[in-house]
Copies of this chain bind each other. A is one copy, B any other.
Amino acid sequence: MEKIKPRTLSGFLELLPEKQMQMEKMLAILRETYALYGFTPLDTPAIEAAEVLLAKGGGETEKQIYRFQKGDSDLALRFDLTVPLAKYVAANYGQLTFPFRRYQIGKVWRGERAQRGRFREFYQADIDVIGDGALDILNEAEIPAIIYQTFTKLGLTRFRIRVNNRKVLNGFFEILGLSERAGDVLRTIDKLDKIGAEKVHALLTEECGVSGESADEILRFISVPGTSADKLAFLAQYQGRSDVFDLGLSELRTVVEYLPAFGVPEENFEIDLTIARGLDYYTGTVYETVMTDHPEVGSVCSGGRYDNLAEYYTNKNLPGVGISIGLTRLFYVLQEQNMLSENLLTAPADVLILPMTDDLSGAIALATKLRAAGLRTQLYGEKKKFKAKMAYADKLGVPFVIFLGEDEIAQGKCSVKNMTTGEQQTVTSNEALLMLRVAIDERNAGSVIQE
């Protein structure tokens, strides 16, 4: 028979078992952490009606989307988790309780040009809080705590949550009389990190129609140094000149004020007045998260406050705040940087039982007992030489092997081999269980990420 080449499409991440296990641990930590903050899990279809997904329409999205006909239906794969959320909230408005807090971790699809580190299918891990008509600033203040917990539980310590407030920026431009040109100015100051202050100044004056004096002030504003307290003090000088600015500053103050109670250390947080996160959508606090030692990666968790989640579907006013982690890309980056812990247990089982007798009842009963105690147990039944069996255990990377021969069974015992130390002990099944339980719990205590 002629064979078809068993290939996986480029731009689609498909992991070998050890790597997949690391990914699963990350997924589990995200689910767990999001749940701790009172978010409910949501699952929406991968396929939606194209007109629903493209309600906002236009731009890059429309080019990248996977869209197709089935029968008479014009369908498309979701390209993010925000549009499905908007649809869900609008469709189920009467049955939801607001503020509605949901997390969704799922794949999305974008037919981007394939290149290294770019994916056409990738996981997003989103949380959003949606208010009905209004949403208290406390929800914005809580987001840094969630980001902090999530990355800390993953094992990362060297990261910074960067926060800004769009009202502060918009109010500042209002004060400078630049409201009309805010879009161009935002796009320009966003380049500060890349091209430097001098070039930003040149662009502002030459291309955005900003006066030299205002350009100076903008650069002073976005580059103000110091702690969060220093920056808030600096911002205070603009108070009383724009209502939007004053509201934004008060919101920013609230976010900073509650950080200690939320358990977010000062060193993992900073006010960064250059952050805008796009032009149209966000209206209040905006967030980015960068790995301190890998600024080149860009933000690994971003989001912000928006005023209207579902305006394409409903007249209801649904303000919200949310963040998103691009999990597939994060995983890829961590792997490239050798930051995925090698101490983590990635074997499919905690223990492999090698029966040495023809009657397997004893080995099976032991496996049943270990499984009942929560130990991931594999029974090996293949008819192979002892050496081949041990090679299998080695290759799998199981931390423990149990041998069960006639002598052991006769004595009500089993031989436990620690595959890391090479140590072997003959003990009762209860002793084996306890020993393994302790050792495996210890192994599982480590984090996914190592720095």
Contacts and interface: CB of A to CB of B under 8 A. Distances in A.
A119 to B, nearest CB: 10
Given A349-B38, A361-B258, A379 B43 contact: no
Contact of A364 (B69, B262, B378): B262
A66 B42 contact: no
Nearest to A15: B43
B90 A6 contact: yes
Contact of A136 (B20, B96, B381): B381
Interface residues of A, number: 108
Contacts of A35: 348, 376
A70 B66 contact: yes
Interface in A19-45: 20-21, 23-24, 35-45
A102 to B, nearest CB: 7
A62 interface: no
A91 interface: yes
Contacts of A375: 36
Given A16-B92, A381-B139, A52 B7 contact: yes
Contacts of A201: none
A40 B348 contact: yes
Contacts of A44: 8, 14
Nearest to A53: B4
Contact of A41 (B13, B21, B68, B149): B21
Contact of A42 (B20, B135, B137, B257): B20
22 contacts: A3-B315, A4-B51, A4-B52, A4-B313, A8-B45, A9-B73, A12-B45, A17-B96, A17-B102, A20-B41, A20-B43, A36-B376, A38-B378, A40-B348, A46-B121, A66-B68, A70-B111, A71-B111, A97-B395, A131-B382, A138-B381, A149-B371
